[in-house]
Amino acid sequence: MMQAEYPMTETLARPMHIMCVDDHLLVREGIALVLEREADLRVVSSVASGEEAVSRYAEVRPDVVLMDLQLGGMSGIEAIRKLRALDPSARIVVLTVMQGDEDIFRALQAGAIAYVLKDTLSQDLVRVVRDVHAGRRALGPSVAAKLSERASAPTLSEREIQVVELMSQGMRNKEVAASLGITERTAEVHVRNILTKLSVKDRTAAVSVAIRRGIIHLQ
């Protein structure tokens, strides 16, 4: 008796869909070249701004989003927040040149799962994308070390951050006070607290440390 033969069907797994958000076209094209060398990775959306990422996310439904932090208009941090509000399960990898401990902390706080610097090796980026797609957090040793340092360092209050931002514009205490609607004496107290928390002796050094750590960014 002949047995019925059933045709074998080959089920091919869908490639991982990736959205790339960076305001430099050359960077986006380079990332696509790196990722699409892998059979299981495909860049399905390449956008230049946080606004575009948010508007296209629901249509594209990427498995992983690669997000720069320095974008024109909406910042990368704000875009991460908005994407996570749209989809709490969104898997977002920050891919940036910004390596201050405050940049890292804010990105993870906003909802990023991984933080990768743009000088990383291509094979390491591929590995991070796959790890994040699998639900694993990916932080390199240098990123983890910066977070550890931040955990043991005093943090600036929102008002102190406003003050150091004005200091970076060259404002003295009287100008800072006028800009924030506080007394000059209060401004002096804030500046003194900033110097203490950042372990520096003068305003110039305070601004330098704040920029290096990502507490403030020059426009």
* Chain segment 144-202, per-residue pLDDT in tens: 888 887 887 888 999 999 999 999 999 999 999 999 999 999 999 999 999 999 999 99
Distance between terminal CA atoms of the chain?
81
Q: What is the pLDDT of residue 154?
A: 87
Domains of the chain: 16-150 (3.40.50.2300), 158-213 (1.10.10.10)
Q: Is the pLDDT of residue 77 over 50?
A: yes
* Chain segment 109-130, per-residue pLDDT in tens: 999 999 999 999 999 999 999 9
pTM comes to 0.78
